Amino acid sequence: MRLATFRTGKISILYDADSLCDAGEAPQIGPHLVDPDHWRHAGRVIGEAPGRGASLFLDAGAGGEWVLRPYRRGGLVARLNASRYLWTGLERTRAFRELRLTADLHDRGLPVPRPIAAGVTRHGPIYEAALVTCRIAEARALASLLEGDETDDDLLKRVGATIRRFHDAGLDHVDLNARNLLIDQDKKVWLIDLDRCRLRRDGAWKARNLERLARSLAKFGAPEAMAPIRRGYGNS
């Protein structure tokens, strides 16, 4: 994957040069890439994901689909400031860090969505940001499958084995939950939403990841699903 940076006015975009370019028939680089209103006005929003931030599913043309996820705050602070963050440098923005991390893991062959672009708009001491990735075809969140009683031990063991692959690569996923694990039609497990995640040396963070996932499973009414996930994790 070849990453490059485009700048115009207050906006900086880090993008995959193999997916985008400024000529020919490829999607064009520009502020519109990370602007939800642009896609809505063009009639190319084909769906929306649940959860904070209202990620949009986009018709990217030529049969491709993307996911546009604006960065949004959670908790009490969101009542005062839902989408702006303190500026400490372009490479330290959440969008640029997440895209670079996702690209690194993608290049290692780990099951993450292919990153397309990260856009950052600076407003003096603060900024807003958004991330665009390829949509995983026909994938559903583990949470949805659990709620529909559509899982079995083999699938849950596969979830555990996939988490182990990421842990072995050093990924500390700070929001490991049943919505951030996707299952496609081939039963392949994908990990999404790497905001604030990082690569680390071995440590207690692995257990904390699994404990967070266990709380998420309980929230979706399936605390028993953690046992086969742990078995798959341990046997990998």
* Residues annotated as catalytic (active site), given as ranges: 175
Nearest to residue 176, comparing CAs of 145, 206, 146, 199?
206
Nearest to residue 118, comparing CAs of 101, 135, 105, 106?
101
**Cα(97)–Cα(236) distance, rounded to whole angstroms?**
29
Q: Do 96 and 119 meet the contact criterion of CB atoms below 8 Å apart?
A: no
